[in-house]
Chains A and B, each alone.
Chain A
Amino acid sequence: MVNGKTGLENHRIEVGFPQDDPVAAQLLARLRRGGCAPSLEGVVRIDVITLRGCFRQHDLTVLAKALGHPLTRPASIDRPLVLTGFHWALEVGFLPGVTDNVGRTVAKLLPVLWGRSLEDAESCHGSRLYLLRGTLPDADLQAIAAELANPLVERVSIKSWTHYSRDGGMDRVAPGVALNPHPEADEVNLEVSEAELLLLGKAGLPQNPGEKGRGLPRRGPLALDLESLLVIQRHFRKIGRHPTDLELESLAQNWSEHCRHLIFNSPLGEARAGLFHHYIRRATLEIQRARDDSFCASVFVDNSGAIVFDEDYLVTDKVETHNSPSALDPFGGALTGILGVNRDAVGFGLGARPILNRYGFCLPWPGDRRELYRVPDGESEPLLPPRLLAEGIFRGVEVGGNCSGIPTPQGFWWFHEDYRAKPLVFVGTVGLIPREEKGRRLHQKRARPGNRIVVVGGRVGLDGIHGATFSSEALDSGSPATAVQIGDPIGQKLLTDALIREARHRALYTSLTDNGAGGLSCSVPEMAQESGGCIVDLTKVPLKYPGMAPWQIWVSESQERMTLAVPPEHLDEILELFRRRDVEATEIGQFTDTGQCVVSHGGKLVMDLALDFLLDGWPARELPCEVALPPDRASDPELEAEKTLPPPPGEIQRLLLEILARPGIASRQELALRFDHEVQGSSVLKPLVGPGRVDSAATVVRPRPDSYRGIGVSQGLWPEATLLDPYSAAAGAMDAAVRPLVALGARLGRIALLDNFCWSKPKDPQRLWLLKESARACYEVAVAWGTPFISGKDSMHNDFSGYDGQGRTTRLSIPPTLLISSLAILDDVRRIASPDPKAAGDLIFLLGTTRRALGGSVYRAHRKLAGGAVPELDLSTSKRLYGLHAQAVDRGLVASAQALGRGGLAVAVATACLAAQLGAEVDLDQIRSHGCCDEAPDRAILFSESPGRLLVTCSPENAAAFEEIFQSWDLPVARIGLISGSGRLRIRGAGGTVLVDTALVELASAYGTDWRDTK
C-alpha cells in the first residue's frame, strides 16, 4: 500500500478466460518445451485490474461487468475468481512508474461508466495472474517467473495454494512511485581534480540527497570525457559561475555520441572533415550535382530524408537502432524503437504520415547456452537467454506496428554468436507527405521568435533517463534501469492523427520535432536553432508523479512526445484540438532570438547557456586509425583441394539442406504472419512470395490507392565479411540492398539509400579503420551507381563488459555491422518482376559473375571455417547489367527475377523452386562455358555469395529477346537450366556429376525449420 493516505483502499477485479483458452495452452507448451518446468501440468491466465481510491461498491460492480463478458469472461471483485485446482499462483505486474497501458485504458473508461475520473491520489493498474498446476520445485518457479516477467520492468509475486487460500487470494498491489522529492537544481563545482572530473564523466553526478536509484551513489553516466569536461570547465570560468546540474546534464545529452555523432564528425585518416561529410554526404552532393532532376528533396537535415514520389508527394525514410534498451528489455526496447522511428516520419517537415515499417534483427545464435551476467556474483542480473531476447523483440515490433496501423512488410533476421550481449534492433519508417498544403511547402519548417513551445503526448516520468548517454557507453552493471521503458502505440496513434490529419491541415504550427534521445534537453535547443533561442518553464511540464528534480524533467525520455512551435494566435485552437482528441498538450515556453537557451523552474533560473556552445561547443579531436586485415583473408585450402578431388557423393545436397535449415536462411514466415503487412491496403509485393510462400528480399507498396506508382524497399548487410575486407563487405551490403529492387525492375537512378553503422570498440584504431574503409566503399558505390544517401544513423558502442558464471570478466563486441536500407520509386507496380518462377518450361538465367571466393559466406560459417577471400563487386559491369535488366523487365520479358543472397546460387535456386512449387534442372557447366565465373570448383559456384548476380526466368518465347538485350555488351549472362514440372531440384556439376537431386518436400522441410529448435 502506498503512503497510507486515509480513505484510499485498494480493490482488485479479476477477469477470467474461457476454459479452453488457446493462449494458456500455448503458454503451457512453451514453459514445458523451454525445459524450465517439465512437471507443469496446467496454466490458467486471469486479467487483473487493481484500483486504488475511494469507490462505491456499485461502481466497482459496474466496472467488473464491463470488463467481463456474460458468456466467456467471468469477473470477480475483491475475491479470487478461482479457489482450487492449482498449486501455485504467480502474478506479474509492473514496477512503479512503468507505462501501464491497460491501467490507463481502464482509467479512461471510468468517466463513461461512473461519470467521474480518477482523482489525483487514485490510480488504476493492470496485471496478469497465472494459476499453475503441478508439483513445481522452487527452481522451476523461478524459471517460469523469468519466462513471464522481466525484473527490470515487472514485479512478480508468487503464492502457494496454501498461502493463497489463507490470504483469500493474491494481495491488492497498486504500485506507486515514491520519490524523495528534491525538486531543486544543484550547483556543481567543476574546479576539482582531473580524477574527480573523470569520475563525473563516467559515473555521473552524485545522487540527489536521499534518492535511491538502485542504491547507486551516482546518477549514471554523463559519458563526457576529460577533454569535454575541461572545455565545459573553461566555459563556466569565462562566464564566471558554476554550472547547475541541469546544465551539465544538458551538455552531456547534447554532446553525446548518440546526438552529435562525434565519431562520424571527427577527422579520421584521409577524411579530414569526418566520415559523414567526406564520404556519406559528399556522395549525395556529387550525385545531386551530376543529375539535373530534383530526386532528392531533403537530405540529412531533418528527422528523415525525403525524395520525390510524384508531382504531389514526397516519400520520407529513416532507419534507427534501439540496441541497448532492447538488450535490457527486448519487448519494451523494440516497441519504443519502432514507435520512435515512426515519429521520425511524423517529425519530418511539418509532418509525414507513416506508411511502412521495416525491421532488422541481428540476434544471438538461438542455441547459445553461455551464461553471462552484468555483476560478478555469477547469479544476479543475467543477460536474457537468446530465445527470450528474440521473442521479446518480435513482440515489440508486432505490437508497435500492428497497433499503429502501419504495415510492416519489410525486414530480415540475422543470427550470429557475437550478438549475444547486444542484439541489434533496426527499425525504419517510410512516410508520405504532400509537397504543398495551404500554400505551405511541407518539407520546410521554421520556429519563429515568439512562437510558443508546445509539448504534445505523454506525461514525463523517470523513464529513459540517460538514454542518450547510456547508448554511448558499453553495457555493464552500471547501466541505469530507468533507461527501460514501454511504449504506448495507441497514445502515439492519437497524437499522430490529431497532428497530421487536423493540426497540420489547419496550419496551426510552424515547426515540430520528435522528443527522442535526451528528451526536451535535445529537442527544444535543436528547434531553437531555427529561431535563435528559447525560454522554458519546467514547472509547466506535466509530470506522471510529483517530486522529480528539474534535470530529470529536462532530460527524461518519456515516449510518444513531440515538440511544436505554435504562433500565439493559434495556441488556444491547437490546445483545444488536442484536448478533444484525448492528447495531452501543454505550452512550456517560447522561442526567442536571444541566442540563449534559458530554462527556469519554480521561478528560479536553472539554465542559461549560449545555444552555439550547447550544440556545437564539443571539442573535435583526431581519431586514430590503423590498417587491420587478417592474414588468412585470401586463403581457402578447401577450394584448392577440390581442384583435384570432387566432392563426395551426396555432400553438396546435405550441405544445401543443412544451410536451408539454418536460422537466418530458413523461413521467416512466422514474422510475416505476425506483422500486419496489409493494413492501409497498400501492399503489392508481400513479404512471402509464390504459392510456396518464400521470404522475399524486397517488398513493394502502393501508397496512393488511386495510382499504380509504387515504392520498393529492401535492405542489405554483411557483418561476417567486415573483419575480412571492410571495403568489399560494405560494397556487398550496398549491393545486397540495391539488387533486390533492381530485380523487380527498378532503375538505379530511382533508388535512394540510408546507412546505419553499428560498430563496436570505437576507441580501437583498427575498428576505426574498418569504419573508414566501409564509409569509403559507401561513397564509391553510391557515386558509381548514382544512388544517393538521404539519411543515416550510427550506433558506435555495441560492446558488453560483464562476467561469466564464475565471475570472470567477459567482454563481447558485435561484429561491426553496416546496414544499408534502400527504397525505389516504381512507375507502375503492375510491371514489376516478382521473385517466384511462374511456369514449368521457363528458362533459367544467371546474370553476373560468380567469384571463386567464399569469404563471409553462410557456407563457411556453417563449416566453421574462418577467413577466406571476400568476393568483390564490379561497379561498371553491375551498373550496365542492372540497367539492361530493368529494360528487360519493362519490356515484359522477365517472368521472375531474384537477387542471389545468403547461401548463394544453391539457396537461390532452392527457394525459387519452393516459392513456385515447381522443380528445376540446373547445369553448373553452363556457367563455366559462358565465362560467368572464375575458374572455380562446384562448391564455390554454388555457395559463393558474389555480389552483382540475378537469377531470372523467362518463358521460352521471350528467352531469345531477353538474351539479345545483353549480347552486344559482352556481359556475363548464362542460360543455366529450366524450371520443370517434376517437383524435384536437380543440379549437375562439373562433367555432369549429379550434386543435388531432391524432392520439393525435402527442401520444404529443411526450409520450414523453426529457429527455436537450433542447437
Chain B
Amino acid sequence: MTAPAVMVLTGTGINCDLETAFAFRRAGARTKIIHVADLMESPQRLFQSQILVLPGGFSYGDHTGSGNALAIRLRHGLATFLRRFVESDRLILGICNGFQVLTHLGLLPGEPAGAPDFTAKLNPEFRATGQDSTSPAPGCATDSRRVALLSNRPPGYVCRWVDLLAEKTTSPWLRDSGALHLPVAHGEGRFWAPPAELARLANAGQLVLRYARDGKPAHGEAPWNPNGAALDVAGVCDPTGRVMGMMPHPERAIDFVQREDWPSIADKLRRQGRELPEAGDGLALFRAAVRYYH
C-alpha cells in the first residue's frame, strides 16, 4: 500500500497547518497544504486525498463566533463535495478551530437534521419581540447545526495540558488510543448540546474523547475539564467514526519533549538507567489514520 495523501487546509487565519502536516508526515502520510481559496476554486481537488484536515487557528479572527465564518465560506461551494468526500470512505479531522468549523458545517455530529424547533429552545431571557424574526428564512430553511462549542467556563483563553480518555470506539482515528496527554489552547471549546441530543450522542458512542482526571472522567471539574464541556466531551465523531473533531491539539504532542512534564519523566527514567521515549501521545492518532489505509 502506498502512504495515504492528506490535504491540510490553510488560509483565512488558520495557523496550525505546518505542524499538523508535519505530524501526518511523521506518521507516514504524504501531505499537501492547500489554501482555502485554491480549494474553493477547484473543489474536485479534494478527491486527490484520502484524508482532509481542518487545522487549528483563528479563521476569520473568530469574528461572528469561532469557526462560523469559515464554515459559511465552505458551505457555499464545497458542501456537496464534502458530503461526497465523507461518503466515499475517506477521513476528516478537525482540530480546535477545525472542530468548531465542522460543527458549524453540520458534519459533526453528522446526523441528518430535522428542522430544529428553534422557538422552543429560545433563551427565555430573550422575550418574544412581537414576531419571531429568527424563524428560518427562505433560502436557508435548513440549518444542520445541532451542537455548539461555547465560551469556556471559567471564561477566557486557556493553554494547558490535559488528560483525556478515548472511548472504545470504531473510529479509525482513535483505535490505537486509550489515555492521552495533550495540550488544549482555546477560548470557545465548551461542548454543548441539548440534553436529548447529548444522550443520543452518548448512546451512539459518538462522544469519543473525554477530559479525565487520574484516569477517570473529570466530572466537569476545572482545570481537568478546562472549559466546562458537557459530559467532559473533548472530541466527537460522526456515526461512521470517520469524521472526528477535537479541541485538544494532537499535532503539538507527537514528540516526548513536547510534553510539559517531560523533564520530570526524563529524570526518573535516567535514574533507572532507561532510555527516553521518542513519541508523544498525539502521534498514535495520526498513525491510526494512516493505518486505516493499509
Residues in chain A within 8 A of chain B (CB atoms): 15-19, 21-23, 25-26, 44, 47, 58, 61-62, 64-77, 79-85, 101-102, 105-106, 108-109, 112-113, 126, 398, 402-405, 488-490, 493-494, 497, 580-582, 672-681, 683-686, 688-691, 702, 705-706, 708, 829-830, 832, 834, 836, 838-839, 892, 895, 955
* Contact call B270/A708, Cβ cutoff below 8 A: no
Of the residues B15, B139, B258, contact of A683 by C-beta under 8 Å: B258
Nearest A residue to B118, CB-CB: A70
Query: Given A62-B139, A490-B13, A681 and B252 touching (CB < 8 A)?
Result: yes
- Give the distance to chain B from A679, nearest Cβ to Cβ, in Å: 6
* Contact call A679/B15, Cβ cutoff below 8 A: yes
Chain A hits for B89, CB < 8 A: none
Chain A hits for B257, CB < 8 A: 684, 702, 708, 829-830
* Contact call B264/A680, Cβ cutoff below 8 A: no
Chain B hits for A684, CB < 8 A: 257-258, 262
Query: Given A126-B63, A680-B18, A836-B264, A65 and B254 touching (CB < 8 A)?
Result: no
Per-residue 0/1 for B244-262: is the Cβ within 8 Å of any A Cβ (1 yes, 0 no)? 0000010111110110111
Tell me the chain B residues, 139-187 only, with Cβ under 8 Å from chain A.
139-140, 143, 145-148, 150-160, 183, 185
* Contact call A70/B116, Cβ cutoff below 8 A: yes
In Å, the complex CA distance between A47 and B69 comes to 15
* Contact call A679/B16, Cβ cutoff below 8 A: yes
Tell me the chain B residues, 21-37 only, with Cβ under 8 Å from chain A.
22-23, 26, 35, 37
* Contact call A403/B121, Cβ cutoff below 8 A: no
Does B136 count as interface, using CB distance less than 8 angstroms?
A: yes
Query: Given A22-B155, A402-B157, A71 and B263 touching (CB < 8 A)?
Result: no
* Contact call B22/A705, Cβ cutoff below 8 A: yes
Known: A69-B65, A497-B11. 4 other contacts (CB 8 A): A61-B140, A71-B146, A79-B130, A681-B249
Tell me the chain B residues, 258-284 only, with Cβ under 8 Å from chain A.
258, 260-264, 266-268, 270-271, 276
Per CB-CB distance, the 3 closest pairs between chain A and chain B, nearest first, are A405-B15, A61-B137, A834-B263
Chain B hits for A75, CB < 8 A: 133-134
In Å, the complex CA distance between A925 and B152 comes to 51
Of the residues A70, A493, A832, contact of B13 by C-beta under 8 Å: A493
Of the residues A16, A83, A681, A689, contact of B263 by C-beta under 8 Å: A689
Of the residues A79, A493, A673, contact of B133 by C-beta under 8 Å: A79
In Å, the complex CA distance between A686 and B161 comes to 11
Does B194 count as interface, using CB distance less than 8 angstroms?
A: yes
Q: 29 A-B contacts, Cβ less than 8 Å apart? A: A25-B155, A44-B125, A64-B133, A69-B65, A71-B116, A71-B118, A71-B147, A72-B148, A72-B192, A74-B126, A75-B134, A76-B134, A108-B69, A112-B76, A403-B61, A493-B15, A497-B10, A673-B156, A674-B158, A674-B159, A677-B159, A678-B252, A679-B16, A679-B19, A681-B251, A685-B263, A705-B26, A836-B264, A838-B264
* Contact call B35/A673, Cβ cutoff below 8 A: no
Chain A hits for B267, CB < 8 A: 838-839, 895
In Å, the complex CA distance between A16 and B122 comes to 10
Of the residues A26, A490, A836, contact of B60 by C-beta under 8 Å: A490
Nearest A residue to B226, CB-CB: A673
Q: Total A-B residue pairs with C-beta atoms closer than 8 Å?
A: 240
* Contact call A69/B138, Cβ cutoff below 8 A: no
* Contact call A70/B145, Cβ cutoff below 8 A: yes
* Contact call B185/A71, Cβ cutoff below 8 A: no
In Å, the complex CA distance between A494 and B270 comes to 45
Chain B hits for A685, CB < 8 A: 263
Chain B hits for A674, CB < 8 A: 156-159
Chain B hits for A15, CB < 8 A: 64
Of the residues A61, A488, A676, contact of B159 by C-beta under 8 Å: A676
Per-residue 0/1 for B116-129: is the Cβ within 8 Å of any A Cβ (1 yes, 0 no)? 10100111111101
- Give the distance to chain A from B208, nearest Cβ to Cβ, in Å: 21
* Contact call B134/A58, Cβ cutoff below 8 A: no
In Å, the complex CA distance between A955 and B273 comes to 13
Chain A hits for B150, CB < 8 A: 18, 72
Nearest B residue to A670, CB-CB: B156
In Å, the complex CA distance between A832 and B267 comes to 11
Nearest A residue to B249, CB-CB: A678
Per-residue 0/1 for B59-87: is the Cβ within 8 Å of any A Cβ (1 yes, 0 no)? 01111110011001100110000000000
In Å, the complex CA distance between A674 and B154 comes to 12
Chain A hits for B264, CB < 8 A: 690-691, 836, 838
In Å, the complex CA distance between A716 and B92 comes to 46
* Contact call B13/A19, Cβ cutoff below 8 A: no
* Contact call B252/A77, Cβ cutoff below 8 A: no
Chain B hits for A76, CB < 8 A: 129, 133-134
* Contact call B148/A678, Cβ cutoff below 8 A: no
* Contact call A679/B252, Cβ cutoff below 8 A: yes
Does B58 count as interface, using CB distance less than 8 angstroms?
A: yes
Chain B hits for A580, CB < 8 A: 35, 37-38
Chain A hits for B38, CB < 8 A: 580
Chain B hits for A836, CB < 8 A: 263-264
In Å, the complex CA distance between A403 and B62 comes to 9
With most chain B CB atoms within 10 A of its CB, the pick from A44, A109, A580, A581 is A109
Chain B hits for A955, CB < 8 A: 271
Nearest B residue to A105, CB-CB: B63
Nearest B residue to A675, CB-CB: B159
Chain B hits for A22, CB < 8 A: 151-155, 190, 228
Nearest A residue to B263, CB-CB: A834
In Å, the complex CA distance between A301 and B269 comes to 47
Chain B hits for A23, CB < 8 A: 151, 155
Of the residues A676, A688, A829, contact of B185 by C-beta under 8 Å: A676
In Å, the complex CA distance between A112 and B68 comes to 13
Of the residues B15, B160, B252, B260, contact of A673 by C-beta under 8 Å: B160
Nearest B residue to A84, CB-CB: B127
In Å, the complex CA distance between A668 and B88 comes to 49
- Give the distance to chain B from A450, nearest Cβ to Cβ, in Å: 31
In Å, the complex CA distance between A61 and B56 comes to 30
Chain A hits for B158, CB < 8 A: 673-674
In Å, the complex CA distance between A702 and B22 comes to 14
Chain B hits for A109, CB < 8 A: 60, 64, 69, 72-73
Of the residues A84, A106, A494, A706, contact of B64 by C-beta under 8 Å: A106
Chain B hits for A21, CB < 8 A: 151
- Give the distance to chain A from B134, nearest Cβ to Cβ, in Å: 5
- Give the distance to chain A from B3, nearest Cβ to Cβ, in Å: 17
- Give the distance to chain A from B53, nearest Cβ to Cβ, in Å: 14
With most chain A CB atoms within 10 A of its CB, the pick from B57, B123, B157, B251 is B123
- Give the distance to chain B from A745, nearest Cβ to Cβ, in Å: 12
Nearest B residue to A81, CB-CB: B126
Per-residue 0/1 for B73-110: is the Cβ within 8 Å of any A Cβ (1 yes, 0 no)? 10011000000000000000000000000000000000
Nearest A residue to B262, CB-CB: A684
Chain B hits for A44, CB < 8 A: 125
In Å, the complex CA distance between A69 and B19 comes to 31
In Å, the complex CA distance between A76 and B126 comes to 11
* Contact call B157/A676, Cβ cutoff below 8 A: yes
Chain B hits for A105, CB < 8 A: 60-61, 63-64, 69
* Contact call A16/B123, Cβ cutoff below 8 A: yes
* Contact call B125/A85, Cβ cutoff below 8 A: yes
In Å, the complex CA distance between A83 and B155 comes to 27
* Contact call A673/B157, Cβ cutoff below 8 A: yes
Nearest A residue to B159, CB-CB: A676
Chain B hits for A405, CB < 8 A: 15-16, 57-58
Of the residues A25, A681, A895, contact of B19 by C-beta under 8 Å: A681
Chain B hits for A102, CB < 8 A: 61, 63-64
Chain B hits for A895, CB < 8 A: 267
Query: Given A106-B63, A675-B159, A58 and B137 touching (CB < 8 A)?
Result: yes
